[in-house]
Each structure stands twice: as structure tokens, then as C-alpha cells.
Structure 1
Amino acid sequence: MARRDQLGWNGSRAIPAFLLTVCVALTAACTSSSESDNAKDKTAMPTLSAAPSKLASLDPTEAAKEQALAAYKGYWAELPKVYAMPAIEGTEIKRYAAAEALSQAEASVKNLSTTKSVMTGLPILTNPTITDAALDKKTPSVTISSCLDVVQWKIVNKASGEPAAMPSNRVTKYVVVALVERWEDGWKVLKATPKADQPC
């Protein structure tokens, strides 16, 4: 029980609080095992960038959306590497995350290090979709909604490999909503919020 307290559990949703802030739903601490997803839509780690030839054939609006989606997928490809070490250095997370998303990743790295834990396995990102776009602003942005399956993404003791205890009512598949902005050095995830009350 002491270990559960160290990780900062949110009793109301049975999701580690520090992982919720990280918006990563980092843990397999959540379960709503609906296995009815279409298997062909699943990819453990999506392609990190849109092909240049494909972007060249798109109009500027569609090209911007493809770039934003590629950055979002890149974020979810790098985050498991961050928590597997745990460390920011040695990954490309800063290429894809900034502001709150990056600071929360850094806080979670510190928390995992303090509890002598790491994350093993991978999350499965499904159906990332742009639900809103403001591409005419001074700083263009999009909102992306996706389904995240974290059943295989687990917190374990770094030394023993023993999995952290998880509540019986954990949710493992839920919607994540992210804000992605175009900065001078590319599109970046600024915030990603897990919606534990929205299974997918």
C-alpha cells in the first residue's frame, strides 16, 4: 500500500494522479477491457512523420494537419522510451512535446526515479483524429482525439521487475484529447488529457 501512495493514486478514478497530470495515462492502472476494437486499426507505434512526397501533393491546410498528426504520433512513440529509462535525455521527446506536456513528462520521470520504477511494454494508439483546427491563427493549432490502450504498459519495480499493484476497477482503454501547436521548430503537443470516463 505504501508504494501505491508513493505513486499518488487518485481514488476516484483509480488512476495514478501523477500519470493523469502527465496525461499519458501512463499506467495500466486503468481498465475497461472492451476488446471490440477493429484490429486492423491498431498500430503499436505509428509512423513518426508524414512522407514528404505525400505532403507535397496536399494543399497547405491538409499538409499542416498531416504534420500535426505526425508530431502527435511521434510524441506517443517517444513517451514510452522516456518512461522505460526513466529519463528525458536520450530520447526525442523535446522534438514533439513542449509546455505542459513536456513539464509533466519531466515530473513523471522524477516520480518514477524516486520510486525506483520504470514502465515496460507499449501503449497502443488508435484512430488519432483532428476534431478542431485553428490554422489561421498567429500560432496555428489543432485538437486531436484518439483512443489509448495501456493494458500492456505497466509500472514495474526497476530492480525486481515486479509489477506495481493495480486497482481492480482500473480502466485500460480510454479517449485522450490533445492540443498541438505549430512552433518555429515544428508541431508540438502542448497538452494531452486522458478521459478516463470515456472508454473506447
Structure 2
Amino acid sequence: MARLVQLGWNCTRAVPVFLTACVALTAACTSSSDSDSEKGTAAKPTVSAAPSKPAPLDPDEAAKADALAAYKAYWTEVPKAFAVPAIEGTDLKRYAAAEALSKAEVTVANLKKNHRVMTGEPVVTNATVTSAELEKKTPNVSISSCLDVSKWQITDKKTGKPAPVATNPVTKYVITSLLERWDGSWKVLKYDLHADQPC
């Protein structure tokens, strides 16, 4: 996942300030001495310095930001696949590989076999890069986040009603994931759910 900062301009305050500045400037010009006018000298307007450009983002921080963006995109595509259920038609393969993609494919196959889908969406918050090895031949980062699955449920595809499944009292817990950068793109390779760590 650059942010645009919008600067608001309060017109009701800006206009009087602008007019006051004009009046002051006019008064200064008319009160100049005759000797100044005879010499043809006039006060030169003050030129303010150009605004400084923001410092470029550190390459390591930029890489971490890209990894976090890919991680969030992964969690956008997973519920899309499970809602059909099908991997095709989603961008899941763009953001997942190896074990993470295999688990998704197995889940899709099981949902199809049992005529079920997953409705609603998981909520992922507090995604944070906990470690990074960006100088390796294959750069990688580890991300920890809080996963809330309370509004993401298995549903019978025919009836649209929640399917009877074993319930887990913990629906909001820590999940840790490993991402690697392949050919310039970050992919989720694997993840671990920590139901013993509610968040």
C-alpha cells in the first residue's frame, strides 16, 4: 500500500488577510519620500523560498510498505475466492504462493465438495513488519497482524444458511505470515494462526 495530503483553505479568513496585505503594501508605496521617487527606486517584493521537497522514502521502508500493501491485497483476494468458491477470477495467485496458495486451493476444493461457500469477510488490523531480510537474494519479511473472523462464516450454498461447524470460542487472534519478493512482487508464502493469542 503514496498518501496525498490536502490542504484546506478557509476563504472567510484568507480574503481579509489578503486585503490587509494589499492595503499595507499600498500605504508603504504612497508614503515613500520624494527623493526615493526621484531616484526611481522602489521596494522590491519579497520572494519567498520555494517549498522544500519531502525527503525520499528510505529504500528499506519503501520495501516494507510494498510488502504490507501486498499482504493487505492478499486478504482482499482470499474471501473473494472462498465466496465462489474458485481461485479463478481472483488475483490470489498474484499475492500468494507455495504453502499459502496450496492451503487456499485445498479450502476451495473442500468448499466445492461440500456445496458450501464463505460469506462475509475477515478483518485484518494492526499489520506490522516484525522482521525483514531485504539484502538476501530473495528478500523476505515477516508480518504480524490481528485477524477477526467473527463475520466470516461457512454457509450452505443452496440454503444460504450458516453451515453446522465446530465453533471456536476465539474469533479474533494473532496471525503471523512470511512474505518473499519474487521478480519484484511480494507474495505471502505461509502463515500461522495463533488462536491462543487473542487480540
TM-score normalised by length of structure 1: 0.71
1:163 partner amino acid: P
User: 1:51 aligned to 2:50?
Assistant: no
What is the correspondence of 1:24-103 to structure 2 with a 5 Å cutoff?
A: 50-51=1-2, 57-103=56-102
Give ranges in structure 2 of 5+ residues lacking alignment. 6-54
Over the residues paired in the alignment, what is the CA RMSD in angstroms?
1.8
1:117 partner amino acid: R
Shift of 1:185: 4.6
How many Å separate the matches in 2 of 1:98 and 1:53? 32
Whose relative contact order is higher, 1 or 2, with alpha carbons under 8 Å and at least 6 apart? 1
SS of residue in 2 equivalent to 1:120 = strand
1:126 partner amino acid: T
SS of residue in 2 equivalent to 1:138 = coil
Shift of 1:166: 3.9
What is the percentage of aligned positions where both structures have the same residue?
Answer: 61
Q: Which runs of 4 or more aligned residues in structure 1 lie more than 4 Å from their structure 2 counterparts after TM superposition?
A: none
For residues 73-97 of structure 1, the C-alpha deviation after alignment (integer angstroms, 9 at most, x for no partner) is: 0000000000000000000001100
Give the equivalent residue in structure 2 for 1:195: 194
User: 1:144 aligned to 2:95?
Assistant: no
User: 1:130 aligned to 2:129?
Assistant: yes
SS of residue in 2 equivalent to 1:119 = strand
Q: Report the structure number with the largest CA radius of gyration.
A: 2
**How many residue pairs were aligned?**
150
SS of residue in 2 equivalent to 1:178 = strand
How many Å separate the matches in 2 of 1:195 and 1:169? 12
TM-score normalised by length of structure 2: 0.72
Give the equivalent residue in structure 1 for 2:119: 120
How many Å separate the matches in 2 of 1:93 and 1:167? 27
SS of residue in 1 equivalent to 2:74 = helix
For residues 142-162 of structure 1, the C-alpha deviation after alignment (integer angstroms, 9 at most, x for no partner) is: 000000000000000000012
Give ranges in structure 1 of 5+ residues lacking alignment. 1-49
1:58 partner amino acid: L
> Which piece of structure 1 moves more, 183-192 or 84-93?
183-192
1:96 partner amino acid: Y
For residues 110-152 of structure 1, the C-alpha deviation after alignment (integer angstroms, 9 at most, x for no partner) is: 0000010000001110100011111111100000000000000
